[in-house]
Chain A
Amino acid sequence: MKFLFDSDTWQEIYGSIRKNMTRTVITIFGAFWGILLLVCLLGAARGIENSFNSLFGDFATNSLFIGGGRTSMPFKGFQEGKQISLNINDVDAIKREVKGIEFVVPRNATGGQVTHGFKTANFTVFGDYPKLDKVQKKNMVYGRFINQNDINENKKVCVITEEVYKQLYDKEEEAVGSYLKVNSISFLVVGVYKAGQFEGNTSVHIPFSTFQLIYNKVDEFAWMMVTGKSGFDIEQVEFDVKLLLKNLHKVHPEDNRAFGGFNLGKEIGKLTGFLTGMQFLTWFVGIATLIAGVFAIGNILLITVKERTKEIGIRRALGATPAKIKQQIVLESVFLTLLAGSFGIIAGGVILMLIDAADTFLVNPTVNIPVVLIAFLLLVTLGTLIGFIPAYIATVVKPIEALRDE
């Protein structure tokens, strides 16, 4: 390995590269293009992934929503069209009976006129448990979300979104600690949060228990969010939960309209599958281009070696051992791929920066450094291996024949 640090080795490589600049540029272009494409594609794929992620934002991705509807089949003496209302007891039953449940969060909602000072607007008022924060992360800007104490004591507190704040408050007015009138009842504001893209941004959250008391819901609620533990199939969870609910509410097992809902996990799964496919495609195209680029380098080096047969013959007549000749050609290949790889990565990075600055639908298109390093390493390894072909060809010709070559 000593020769790597020998200035002579590099002098020789510099000499033979400088000898034909055009050739060198064309040679490295293939590999440069390969790694450039790989970096750009990976960045773009990441950008799309990021834009999806920001869309779903802070939802637990393996969650589903279930709400009561009307039955569509008669069952056990009940006519079809029976209204199903979810009940607090259902929550406990689901937690107890269904495997793979992480959280069950019941929710209530109603429209409400919300007033602060002289400003009034209509917002959606939710009755929520603190656990909502676990399945749909609230990015608190001020204060806190509803806590267990609020629930226990049926406190008249509320948490609002930034949008609500903007509509009801003056600029720089302190929201936390102020009072809002929700349908003529005063609530103490305890927190302000920034709503994600996937949830409504004009929401007012009050404790679940408070909501029950005020709107006389007793134990009933509108819908619930269920999240599965990681590793459990969310579709199976949905099926199990619904079957249990059908049983509890005396609904025909095949009645698919009694419980409405949306399986977010399933939909996200589809998207994730799409993203995985896209990533696979990215890698496939990128690596294939990379390999094509490396072959281009090998090809050109092969031609060069043919062109340089005479020179190689002279060197050997003067005492260059085959190992020395091989070393030089392989090192040339490695050097060219290194050069191509570095330029490719830099250019790819610049392009990603431009895309980022251009404000497209791609959110923060980036490439992981380890991934780039792996691609780079792969390129250089392939460059080394491909260099052995012309190196072998160079030394397989006897010096006497090489010298005769005109």
Chain B
Amino acid sequence: MIRIEKLHKSYPIGKDSLHVLKGIDLHIKEGEFVSIMGSSGSGKSTLLNIVGLLDSHDEGDYYLNGQLIQNLNEKKAAILRNKFLGFVFQSFNLISYKTALENVALPLSYKGIARKERLKIAQEYLEKVELGPWAHHLPNELSGGQKQRVAIARALATKPKVVLADEPTGALDSTTTDSVMGLLKDINDEGMTVFVITHEEEVAEQTKRVVRLKDGVIISDELTSIGKAKAKAL
């Protein structure tokens, strides 16, 4: 699903440049539940941005769903994001003046789905994250965990190939963290590829595969206990 080969990325800082990613090789198959672990500055957010087509890479190849990503303009990137990717952010990034339902329906409108139809789909996904009754509430009327569940519903609504979650539990307490991770796990169990970025060991443990990044290189890539159990079961 995601194949990255010898990926390099550096940011210019004044005259110098900061080499953030130094040759990343990563292959994520369909249906995997992967977490990227690393301290801040390890390059994990940069990696997610490149995978999420929000940023471009300098060197190396990136295949998304078998398609080589290169020379993307903003328009193509936007269309690919809409088609293949669902985003979940640390700070939820819901649009404050739209209700939960409208927030979930928003990516569907960029897909060109008619209003009636997409509100119906959005309602289904809100039910799925157990927020059906909250459909007509504005984000500031929801708790942090609820907001993140709305964001997850929004990420899922377009039926993407991959859900990208950037510190999805970073702003949540431990109870809600567990419920959000549980939700991501359920989604993965239904066959969705989920790609989580975190610096919390407890979060990473709930995924099936942990990739550890340090200073722009992968230092380890192994299955978690859950992942091993799953692999054994197969």
A interface with B by C-beta (< 8 Å): 7-8, 11, 15-16, 18-19, 310-311, 313-324, 395, 398-400, 403
> Knowing A18-B97, A311-B95, A395-B74 touch, does A319 contact B49 (C-beta < 8 A)?
no
Q: In the assembly, what is the distance between CA of A403 and CA of B167, in Å?
A: 14
Q: Which of B35-43, B109-117, B171-179 has 4 or more CB atoms under 8 Å from chain A?
A: B109-117
Closest A-chain residue to B75, C-beta based? Answer: A321
Are B93 and A320 in contact, CB atoms less than 8 angstroms apart? no
In chain B between 66 and 121, which residues have their CB closer than 8 angstroms to a CB of chain A?
74-75, 78-79, 81-83, 87, 89, 93-98, 106-107, 109-111, 115
Are B97 and A16 in contact, CB atoms less than 8 angstroms apart? yes
Q: Does B54 contact A (CB under 8 A)?
A: yes
B93, chain A: closest CB distance, angstroms? 5
Number of residues from B at the complex interface, CB < 8 A: 27
Are A321 and B79 in contact, CB atoms less than 8 angstroms apart? yes
The contact sample of 18 A-B pairs, CB cut-off 8 A, is A7-B115, A11-B115, A15-B97, A15-B98, A314-B93, A316-B78, A317-B93, A319-B81, A319-B82, A319-B110, A319-B158, A321-B74, A321-B75, A322-B74, A323-B75, A400-B49, A400-B54, A403-B93
Closest B-chain residue to A320, C-beta based? Answer: B110
Instruction: Give how many A-B residue pairs fall within 8 Å (CB-CB).
Output: 67
Chain A residues with Cβ below 8 Å from B75 are 321-323
Q: Does B227 contact A (CB under 8 A)?
A: no
> Knowing A8-B109, A18-B97, A19-B97 touch, does A317 contact B74 (C-beta < 8 A)?
no
Q: In the assembly, what is the distance between CA of A173 and CA of B89, in Å?
A: 95
Q: When A and B form their complex, which 8 residue pairs have the shortest distance between CB atoms, in order from nearest? A: A319-B82, A319-B110, A318-B107, A19-B97, A400-B54, A321-B78, A314-B93, A321-B75
B137, chain A: closest CB distance, angstroms? 16
Closest B-chain residue to A19, C-beta based? Answer: B97
> Knowing A8-B109, A15-B97, A15-B98 touch, does A318 contact B55 (C-beta < 8 A)?
no
* A11, A317, A321, A395 pick with most chain B CB within 10 angstroms: A317
Q: In the assembly, what is the distance between CA of A13 and CA of B94, in Å?
A: 18
B64, chain A: closest CB distance, angstroms? 14
> Knowing A319-B107, A321-B75, A323-B75 touch, does A314 contact B54 (C-beta < 8 A)?
no
B94, chain A: closest CB distance, angstroms? 8
Closest A-chain residue to B78, C-beta based? Answer: A321
Chain A residues with Cβ below 8 Å from B52 are 317
Are B81 and A318 in contact, CB atoms less than 8 angstroms apart? yes
Q: In the assembly, what is the distance between CA of A398 and CA of B81, in Å?
A: 14
A226, chain B: closest CB distance, angstroms? 74
Interface string of B2-29 (1 = CB under 8 A from A): 0000000000000000000000000000
Closest A-chain residue to B76, C-beta based? Answer: A321
Chain B residues with Cβ below 8 Å from A319 are 78-79, 81-83, 107, 110-111, 158
